[in-house]
Amino acid sequence: MFEAEAAALMAVEWGNRAPISTACELTVVSVFQRPGRLRCKHKRPCECDPGRAPKITRPDLDNCAKAVSDAIQRAGVVHDDACVAALHAIKVWAAEGESPRTEIRLCWGPAVEAMR
């Protein structure tokens, strides 16, 4: 479900551009809904940390990254997801007041060539 929805959104944003067929770098930030057990329940200033927190439960990080990688191929953004030569991924619980989402950044061309 995520993959199809993400691919549809990316296809619209990508438009009529040709798919990337050179090395690219993919960054994925998966932000999940903060569970109630991690929410601050105090009504006064306290020492609770309302910021993002590492998520160490399912889904696995590699599955999050693979879903995005498959979606960019399905959307026609990349010719083949094997073009992803560098991957940076993180999964976190949302900060208080932050919406869950997946942030995706894809770099190619000179930006990736500079990594060598």
Per-residue confidence (pLDDT) for residue 46, from 0 to 100? 67
Mean pLDDT by 10 residues, the chain (116 residues): 94 97 96 86 72 95 97 98 96 94 94 72
CA distance 14 to 10: 6
Per-residue confidence (pLDDT) for residue 37, from 0 to 100? 82
CA distance 65 to 96: 24
Per-residue confidence (pLDDT) for residue 3, from 0 to 100? 95
Q: Give which of 88, 26, 87, 31 is closest to 59, Cα–Cα.
A: 31
CA distance 99 to 101: 6
Per-residue confidence (pLDDT) for residue 113, from 0 to 100? 73
Question: Is the bond preceding 59 in cis, omega lying within 30 degrees of 0?
Answer: yes
Structural domains of the chain sorted by starting position, each given as residue range(s) with its CATH number in brackets = 2-113 (3.30.1330.70)
0.85 cut: is pTM over it? yes
